[in-house]
Amino acid sequence: MLPLQTQTVSVPYESTAAGFQLFTPGSQSLVPELIGFEGCDFITAGEKASTSLLIHTKRVSLHESQLVAGGVALVAADPAQPNAPATVEVVSRDVLRVKIPGTVTPTRLKRWKEDGTEDIEDYVELYLSTPNGISNRLLIPYTDPDKAKKQADEKKAAEAAEKEKAAAYRLEDPILRVGFKAVGDQPGTRYVVPAALPSVQSVRLRLGEPSGVMPTRLRVTFKFAAVKEEPGRGPITVQAEALPAGGGSSGFYAIRDEDLEGLTAQLVRLRQSDPGFFETVDGKTKADAESQEILVTPVFGPDKGLAGVTKTAANNLKVVYMKKMKAD
């Protein structure tokens, strides 16, 4: 016959949660616990933003619970201040309803993506405290609505910078002002003609890394989208030639004056099909245009010469239309 054995245990009889385990090894079993959340997948960032969530918990004190989210203490309803907004409400011993402002301080954590690259994500830390202790940490994703747009803009800027760095040609004068005159007063009979501007303009290109044999000239093709879209109508191309400028080895090439005049004339005709071309905004400036692409072909040797590989310039030409007085 086995001898009898005696074991002494502590049996809690107050401040216990509903359904609490009867035999407990100590008071640490009364510490609150945060399990999860529902209502939204993330907390929205912003000065005027707020997110309401249901927090699943264990062992909540009905009257002595304090909740902190991202460094901000959430306030329960106070009978003495009925007009004060409540940001936390005890629904039951297992559920809390919280309203988290978008101005909380997030916690930044590193995460590894599937492709092996490192990413940083923002979370809001939640802690619950009662007279029995402090709960575990509950992390809720913290999302900035403009974050995706910012990341896309940063990626686009980085790609543009990389493209410009690797580009063989760059437009040094990216803005061209084109003057025009409106001829005719009756609708349906009006048209525009080029008009000279008082200031002399130039359009120059620069080689990215001038080395070796320098081209004797450059064949430049500007591609513009048609103002009036029609089925099967592609971009409109304007061609010009650029000659060395500032010394033969400087890497700078300027569009010839006669080609520049032809370029401005074609850019004016380009807008002939635009019904609103005569309606200027401030009496001088008309809506701008921008080339879709600039193709540059180096030419070596005199006359026709030997053409090299055609490449795309790093940037595009912006055209500003300037209205002059009516033609005589």
The domains of the chain, with CATH numbers, are 27-145 (2.60.40.10), 164-323 (2.60.40)
Mean pLDDT of 119-124: 88
Of these ranges, 91-100, 265-274, 299-308, the one predicted with the greatest mean pLDDT is 91-100
Of these ranges, 105-109, 190-194, 225-229, the one predicted with the greatest mean pLDDT is 105-109
Which segment of 43-47, 273-277, 298-302 scores lowest on mean pLDDT? 273-277
Of 162 and 73, the one with more pLDDT = 73
Q: How far is CA 116 from CA 111, 112, 113, 119, 153, in A?
A: 10, 6, 5, 10, 23
**Helix then strand then coil, % of the chain, to nearest 5:** 10, 40, 50
Of 275 and 323, the one with more pLDDT = 323
Of 183 and 256, the one with more pLDDT = 256
Stated as kind and residue range, the H or E segment containing 263 is: helix 257-270
Check pLDDT > 80 for residue 186: no
Buried b (16+ CB within 10 A) or exposed e, 17-43: beeeeeeeeeeebbbbebeebeeeeeb
> What is the average pLDDT score of the chain?
78
Check pLDDT > 90 for residue 137: yes
Of these ranges, 112-126, 202-216, 220-234, 274-288, the one predicted with the greatest mean pLDDT is 112-126
Amino acid 57: pLDDT: 92
Which segment of 27-36, 179-188, 312-321 scores lowest on mean pLDDT? 179-188
Cα–Cα nearest to 219, from 253, 182, 181: 253
- pLDDT band for position 227 (cuts 50, 70, 90): low
Of 52 and 4, the one with more pLDDT = 52
Amino acid 327: pLDDT: 44
Mean pLDDT of 288-294: 84
Mean pLDDT of 202-228: 79
Question: What predicted TM-score, i.e. pTM, was given to this entire model?
Answer: 0.47
Amino acid 18: pLDDT: 46
Amino acid 84: pLDDT: 57
Mean pLDDT of 308-325: 82
CA 154 – CA 54 distance, rounded (Å): 35
Mean pLDDT of 117-123: 85
- pLDDT band for position 116 (cuts 50, 70, 90): confident
Q: Which tokens go with 299?
A: 């030419």
One-character DSSP codes across 133-182: EE---EEEEEE-TTHHHHHHHHHHHHHHHHHHHH-SEEES--EEEEEEEE
Which amino acid, 38?
E
- pLDDT band for position 140 (cuts 50, 70, 90): very high
Amino acid 15: pLDDT: 46
**Which residues are registered as beta bridge partners of 138?**
126
Q: 102, 50 in Cβ contact below 8 A?
A: yes
- pLDDT band for position 69 (cuts 50, 70, 90): very high
Amino acid 25: pLDDT: 52
Q: What are the helix (H) ranges across 93-140?
A: none
